Structures are given as C-alpha cells and as structure tokens.
Structure 1
Amino acid sequence: MRLTILGGGGFRVPLVYEAVATAATGLAVDELVLQDVDPDRLRGIARVIEGLGAELLAAGRAAALPRLRVTTDLREAVRGADFVFSAIRVGGAEARIRDERVALDLGLLGQETVGPGGLAYALRTLPVAIDIARVIAEEAPRAWVISFTNPAGIVTEAMRAELGDRVVGICDTPIGLVRRVGRLLGADPLSGATGSGADYVGLNHLGWLRSVHLDRTDRLPGLLADDAALEQIEEARLMGLDWVRAEGALPNEYLFYYRHTEEAIARIAAAATTRGEFLASQQGAFYDGLSAAGPDGARCCPSPLEAWRGVLAEREATYMAESRDEERREEDLAGGGYQEVALRLMTAIATGRRERMILDVGNLPSGRPDAPASARIVPELPADLVLEVVCEVDGEGVRPLPVAPVELDRLGLMASLRGAERAILTAARTGDRDAAWQGFSTHPLVSSPALGARLLQGYTAAHPQIAALWR
C-alpha cells in the first residue's frame, strides 16, 4: 500500500505520519511518499518524522515503520500510488498574509477560507489543483485522492471534473461537532447502529447539524433546550445559545464569520497580527531552525521533534482565536484531527470496513449525468456541485446518505457562496478577469461590484500567480 502526500513539507504532515506508522485505523501502509515544491521544508519535516519514527519504535507503538521517500517531482511522487493526500498551500504563509490584508484594508473579512481572502486563495490554487488532478489521471488513474486543500469545497469540485468520484474532500470541523454532541449524549450518532444517525448538510465551512438520532429518537431538540449541555459545545458558545435555539440546529464553527461578521472583522483588525502573520512568524522560525541544524539535528535545541510539538501546541490552542473570549478547552482540541478522518476514509475504502463520515462529495455521482434532479442529494442545486454531508464508505466507495429538505435561507446562503466560488473557478480556468470580478463582488460577505473591483485589483497586485492569469 503506497500513500503519497502532496504538500509533504507542510507543518501538520507528522500528524499523518504518526497515524500511519501506528496503524491507528488498522491499515498497514508499506510506503509513504512526501512531495513538496520546497526542498528545505521537505527535508525539515523529514527530520521531524525520523525522530517521531524512532520514538514510536522505542515506545512499542509501531511494530515497523513505512518506507519514507521524499521528492520534489510530482509525477514521480504519484506514480503507482494507491492513495494521494493533497494538502498543498500555493504561495505559502506569505500569500495568506496578503489574502488577509487586502480584505482588511477595505474593511472586509480577512480570513483564509471565508470571504474574499478565501476566494483569492482559491484563485491562485485552482490552476495548480487542476494540473495535479491531470497528472494523477495519467500516472495513477486508479488512485483515490483525499483533498485537504483549502478552500476544500471548490478545490474538490475542480479536481472531480478531472478525476470523478475518486476525489473526496475532507474537513475535521463537522466531525468534531458531531463528536462533541455524541460525548454529551453518551453514544456516537455515526456509529451505524440501528436507529442512529445525524443530518448534517452544507458546504465546506458552511454547514448545519440539524438532527441527531439515537434509538430512532431525535435528541437534538432536548440538547438545544439545555443550557448546561450547550455550554459544553464550542459552536454553541461561539454563536450564542439563544441563536442556536432559534435556528433549531448546531452550526459549523465557521458560521461565526457569516453571523457575526462585524465582530470578527473588528477583532481581527484590532489584533497585533493576523492569523497568517502569526503562523508565518511562528512556523518560519521553526523551519529556519531546522535548516540551521546539522544533518542529525544536533544544533537544533530542542530536537526537531520537540520543537515541532511545541509549535503545534501553540498553533492548535490559538486556532480561530478571534471568535472566542477564552482559551480553547481541552475537550474542543480532542476531535481527532483531519489526519484521523483521512485515515479512516482510506481504511474503509481499502479494507471494506464500513464507516459513516462527513465528507465533501458530489451532489450526484459523476457517472449519472442524466439522472433526474430528484436523484440529487439537494435537488435544487447543480448535480456537479460539491456538498458536505454524511456518507457511508466501504470497499465499493463513497455513498452520500439522504438529507432532509434544506431550508430556504440556508439553501440561499449555500447557493450564493458557491455561485461566487464557481465564478472564481471559471476565472482560474479561462483567465476571464470579469468572472473573477463577478466572484469577488457577489460573495455574500462582499455584495458590492465596487468593492469587488477593488479586491480584484488588490489581489492582482499582491499575487504574481493571480496576475499571471490575466496575461
């Protein structure tokens, strides 16, 4: 079994390695290939992984380690792969800073996946993601592609156009929400037990948990009525207990940026640094320290592995800090992370062990273009649009489970957001500057052709990758 990770020099890659090396899901991986365009970052993360592997063997947590191979060559990396994890970040942390600052300078939300910053991220990422999908189609046509690359919904949608249903997007925030609810109720609603289940529907970073069934009874209304219980759910604290009761659903935490936009902008603008600036400084120092170390890491004190763990703890504790008035609680950090979601998905496909998971998949399987609208997960939305819903996964692939009809206001927000993202996708594919203008202007957190024009101008000046599209 060969697993390839694109963006293999990324900071969170050791988390994936640990899950793979310990066979956390029961799946043995023989070879792990890391690919990245930055050879220094790639070598640095390889040092962290070497230390982690030695620790796992010494502690008896791994019987054997997968063969590790690193390369900057995309074709070499994906050739013959069984699974490909795509976790690229085009432009790195410095580009993220520009995404944030161009928006903030116009009084708009500066956040990397939500709002105009997310559209800029998509505009420079989509051409690269499409090229990657084409290379995978040539070099590993039977591989499954599991995409973590943000903005996950529209990137997954673009890659599916090249690879079909074998591309699945993942995010750990919906499963974290369901797990918090499950802990309070004393049972996992996604266990597959008779009479259990959850209705979660939306787009990536824009979804709602609308029912939670255990023993054929919807337990969500009782949970929403209980202040003490809601206080244990991070998403309810972020949005306000009365608001989630009024909505009759628990939202994905990223809904904070849509429902409390002015507060989010004010908090980000008032902070000493943006999230991108914080991570660029923090992780830049980390990678620089690894580069300065000798081949055995002797000059890095603490060791590469210890340094990585210290930076990781600070990173996780400050995640979405602008949305909360408190430090993240320990129970909110214990969601398993995207690496566990990816490994569970991979294991279900490879072994046939059935799983229920929240995934980003097509509204209609790509092999059924002539199916009626009633066959779609959400009939009102296009067949090829990627939704985030509960799916059943096994050796036969990924099957979305039915959802209840989507309420008009939620449907409208989903359609508005994906309409803007699809305009950005058109611009990325064709170099149509007007399509990009339309995308920035019609995003629900912008809604202004004048601001859209200024955003387009600002991001074109800030990003060579975007400027190159118009040439």
Structure 2
Amino acid sequence: MKIAVIGAGSTYTPELIKGFMEISKDVNIDEVVLHDIEKSSEKLQILYEFTQKLVKGGFKIKKTFEIIEAVQGADYVIFQFRVGGLLARQNDERIPLSHGLIGQETTGIGGFACALRTFPVVRKYVEIVDKYSKATIINFTNPSGHVTEFVLNYLGFDRFIGLCNIPINLLKMISQIIGCKMEDIFLKYYGLNHLTFLEKVYVKDQDITEKLMQNMKLHLANIPSQEFPEWVLDALRLYPNAYLRYYLSEKTMLEKLKKEGIRAEKVLSIESKLLELYKKIDQIPLELSQRGGSMYSTAAAYLIRDLSLSSGTMHIVNTKNNGAVNNLPDDYVLEIPCLVKAGRVFPVTLGRADEFAVGLTHTIKMYERLTIQAFLEKSKQKAIKAMLLHPLGPGIEDAQQLLEEILKSNRDFIDLG
C-alpha cells in the first residue's frame, strides 16, 4: 500500500506516521510519501528526518515537492495542507475582528476566506489524483466539510471522504465516562462539520442518553458555563458541537477572542518550538498536544485500515447524506455515522433530525453553496450573498469593504474577477 500525505510539512505529521505504524500490523504499508510545496522545504526536511527516526526501518518514507510523483499509484491520499499557511490564517482571524465579527479559521468570515483560498488548490490536486491513481482521498484540509461539499457535489469526484477529530474524541470521552469500549457506542449524530448535534447515545442495546446527559452536561467538552449555560442544553435537548458557541454566544465569544488574541499567532510559536524539538529528539514530544488536533491521526489511520479490510466498522465522516437523515436533502454533505465496507463509506439510517439542527444546517449549507458558486463563477455578487447569509457575517454596512479587504489580503490566492 502506498499512502501520500499532501501538506506533510505540518507539525501534525509525526502523529499521522505513528497512526500508520499502529495499523501496519493489520495492513501492509509499503511506503508513505511526504509532499509539500517548495516554500515549505525546510519544514518538510525536518519532518522527513524526524519521521525516519520514528519508523526505525519499518515502511519506507519518501519526500517530494512534485505532486504527481507523490500521488502516482497511491492507494490513499491525505489532504492536510493549509493554503497560504498560518500567515493567511492570521488574516482570516484578524480581518473579521477588525469589523467586530468572530475571527475563526473554519466558520464565519474567516472560514469564508479560507474556503475561497482553498478551492482552486483542492480542484487542482483532485484532478491530479484522479488522473494518476485510483486513490481514495481523506481530507483534513479546512474547512473540511465545506471542502467535501465542493468536491462531491461540484467536482463530482466520489472517492473523497471528509474527516474531523471531534467525533473520535467525543466517542473516547463517552467511553471513559461510561466505562465501555468505543466500538460499543453508537451515536445519533448529525449536522455539518463543526456544526454537529448529538441527539442519542446507545451502548450495545441500551439507550443511555438521559443518564449520560445528566452525568456529563458541559464537562464533556469543557465549555465554560458563561459560554454555554446548562439551561441551553436543557432547552435544546441536544448535545452540541463546541463550535455552536460562536453562533449562540456570539457576544461572549467575540470578547473572548479580542481578549485572548489571534490563535494563529500562538500556533506559529508552538510550531516553531516543535520544529526545533524534532531536530533533537526521536520520539513525539508532549508539546505536540499544545498544537490541538487530538486523535486526528487515529481517525485517519483507522479509517484507512477499515477501508482496506472492508471491516464493516462504523466511522463518523463527512459524506453525502443519501437518506441517512430523512428530513434533509440526500445531496447535502453531512458529518454522520457510516458503515465502512467495500472500500467505501455508507451512511446509516438515523431518522429525522431535530428542527433546530435542521434550521441551522439549511442556512449554513446554503452559505456553503453560495461561496462555492462565487468561486466557480468568479462572482463578487455571490460572495456578498454568502457573507450576508451567514449568521456570523456582516450587515450591509460592512459587507463590501470587508470583502475587498479579504480579496486584497488574499490576492495571490483568490480571484473573483
């Protein structure tokens, strides 16, 4: 098996390699190819040398700046690149904040800019993967669900699975609270990436939802009470993704972001320290936990393993709804539980989604599609419509100026004519 990692200059890469090492006892991995752009050559070299020390003569690790060489003949390709790097993420967070809006890398206007910057590179890479391999692409590139919507519904490439580390961490936390194995848990869990809702929890043949909700409340996600008070959960009767705080506690979260500063700047500092550590040691440092992304490597590696073995196991991924949630359209890309079989993912029947979740899902899905259309049509008008539709977006007072600032800061990446 050949696996290509696109964006391998990321400091996350050692965790990913560790995940591949864990599954190598179940599936035969011949080589892992690390790819990044030449601008990231120093980082890629550091990660290449460090991962060589990690595998200690196991499967082969190669590196290349040539995307065709990386993906040619690959069985799986992982997208984990960030177009524009952390400097672009800084702008995604800073520019909205300057207009009194939430500055966040995957949602709101920050996620809007990130998506427009990412679509052309994703399209280019997907076309290359399709031409030179029969690989399945597993996508972590943000905004992951929005990117998956773009690829499945607008590019028509179906060997593409969006992945996030939040579901696997949720399963892990529930297993620890209940004292059971993760594979014994089934979640009625649905929504969009970073906008999901947990409605029911089953352990083996028991519905433990009420018991679990009373026991864990907010402790599961460590959400401060002022950001998400318990009465909100009692009213919703849903356990929400932590990102819902940006929608329902917008004022509180905006003040928090202004006070704490831009996350991208902190991540830049963490990455610099990690790269220095990778030069000196031969084991994954504890400091990597500061970077975030807990268990993302486990999610990716185990999905590859189970796709390869046609294991029939359950994974929560981003893919087309296809009837899983019967009061949402079949072609919506959702984050939902899927059965892994025959090298594919098959959504399982969940029934109806809660009306509150449906309402937000419709709104954000239409925003996603308008943003995609803005890119494809090079339309500022569609971009403005997308911004005005998003609950965290601007009003008409700021929309035009905000869009121009985004386009100016991303002039090397975004072309809306």
1:360-416, Cα deviation, whole Å (9 max, x unpaired): 01122xxxxxxxxxxx23344443321001111123521101113122221111111
Aligned to 2:385: 438
Structure 1 residue 150: deviation in Å? 0.6
Correspondence list, 1:246-395, <5 A: 246-271=235-260, 273-284=261-272, 286-287=274-275, 289=276, 303=280, 305=282, 309=285, 311-316=287-292, 337-364=295-322, 376-395=323-342
SS in 2 for 1:449: coil
Residue 336 of structure 2 aligns to a residue whose secondary structure is: strand
Q: Is the 8 A contact 1:177 1:252 kept in 2?
A: no
Alpha-carbon separation, structure 2, partners of 1:449 and 1:380: 32
Cα separation, partners in 2 of 1:245 and 1:183, compared to 1, 3 Å: farther
Provide the alpha-carbon RMSD of the alignment. Answer: 2.2
What per-residue deviation string (whole Å, max 9, x for no partner) do you get for residues 295-322 of structure 1? xx9xx5xx0546x725413324xx8xxx
TM-superposed deviation, 1:447: 5.5
Q: Would the aligned equivalents of 1:4 and 1:77 in 2 still touch at CA under 8 Å?
A: yes
Match of 1:372 in 2: none
1:95 aligned partner: 88
1:80 corresponds in structure 2 to 73
Cα distance in 1, alignment partners of residues 83 and 274 from structure 2: 19
Q: TM-score, normalised by structure 2?
A: 0.92
Larger mean CA deviation between 347-356 and 102-111 belongs to 347-356
Q: Secondary structure at the match of 1:388?
A: strand
Q: Which amino acid aligns with 1:416?
A: T
1:131 paired with 2:89, answer no
| Residues 451 and 355 of structure 1: CA distance in aligned 2, closer, same or farther (over 3 Å) | farther
CA deviation map 1:162-183 (0-9, x unaligned):
3533111011112212321222
Report the Cα offset of residue 275 of structure 1.
0.4
Change (3 A) 1:389 1:20: same
1:109 aligns with 2:102: yes
The TM-score normalised by the length of structure 1 is 0.82
Structure 1, 438-447 or 127-136: larger mean CA deviation: 438-447
Q: Which amino acid aligns with 1:390?
A: P
Change (3 A) 1:285 1:347: closer
In structure 1, give the amino acid aligned to 2:415.
Answer: L
What one-letter code is carried by the residue in structure 1 that aligns with 2:161? Answer: V
- The secondary structure found in structure 2 opposite 1:464 is coil
CA contact (8 A) 1:152 1:170 kept: yes
Matches within 5 A, 1:164-313: 164-188=157-181, 190-191=183-184, 197-226=186-215, 229-230=216-217, 232-234=219-221, 239-271=228-260, 273-284=261-272, 286-287=274-275, 289=276, 303=280, 305=282, 309=285, 311-313=287-289
Q: In structure 2, how many angstroms separate the alpha carbons of the residues matched to 1:237 and 1:454?
A: 34
Q: Provide the C-alpha distance between the structure 2 equivalents of 1:198 and 1:357, rounded to a whole number of angstroms.
A: 10
Tell me which residue corresponds to 2:12: 12
| Aligned counterparts of 1:241 and 1:190: Cα–Cα separation in 2 | 29
Structure 1 CA distance for aligned equivalents of residues 372 and 42 of structure 2: 31
Distance in 2 separating the partners of 1:339 and 1:384: 28
**In structure 1, distance between residues paired with 2:289 and 2:91:** 25
Taking the aligned partners of 2:43 and 2:91, their CA distance within structure 1 comes to: 21
Amino acid at match of 2:51: I
Check 1:68–1:453 CA distance in 2 against 1; reply closer, same or farther (3 A cut).
same
Q: Find the aligned partners of 2:223 and 2:103 in 1 and give their Cα distance.
A: 23
| Pair 8,232 (structure 1): closer, same or farther in 2 beyond 3 Å | same
Q: Name the CA shift for 1:159/1:203 in 2 (closer, same or farther; >3 Å).
A: same
Alpha-carbon distance in 2 for matches of 1:136, 1:396: 17
Q: Separation in 1 of the partners of 2:282 and 2:84? A: 25
Q: Give structure 1 stretches of 5+ with no counterpart.
A: 55-63, 291-296, 320-332, 365-375
Distance in 2 (alpha carbons) for counterparts of 1:396 and 1:251: 30
Structure 1 pair 25/168, CA: closer, same or farther in 2 (3 Å)?
farther
Partner of 2:416: 470
Letter of the 1:395 partner, please give it.
A
Alpha-carbon spacing, 1:469–1:97, altered in 2? closer, same or farther (3 Å): same
1:282 CA displacement: 3.0
| Alignment-derived partner of residue 324 in structure 1 | none
- Structure 2: stretches of 5+ with no match in the other structure: none
Deviation track 1:79-120 (CA, whole Å, cap 9, x = no partner) reads: 100000111100000000001010000010011012110111
C-alpha contact (below 8 Å) 1:9/1:36 kept by paired residues:
yes
Q: What is the DSSP-based 3-state SS (H/G/I as helix, E as strand, rest coil) of the residue aligned with 1:34?
A: strand
Kindly provide the amino acid, as one letter, of the partner of residue 97 in structure 2: L
3-state SS of 1:421 partner: helix
**How far apart, CA to CA, are the structure 2 residues paired with 1:124 and 1:135?**
19
CA distance in 1: counterparts of 2:318 and 2:73, whole angstroms:
25
8 Å CA contact 1:189, 1:198 repeated in 2: no
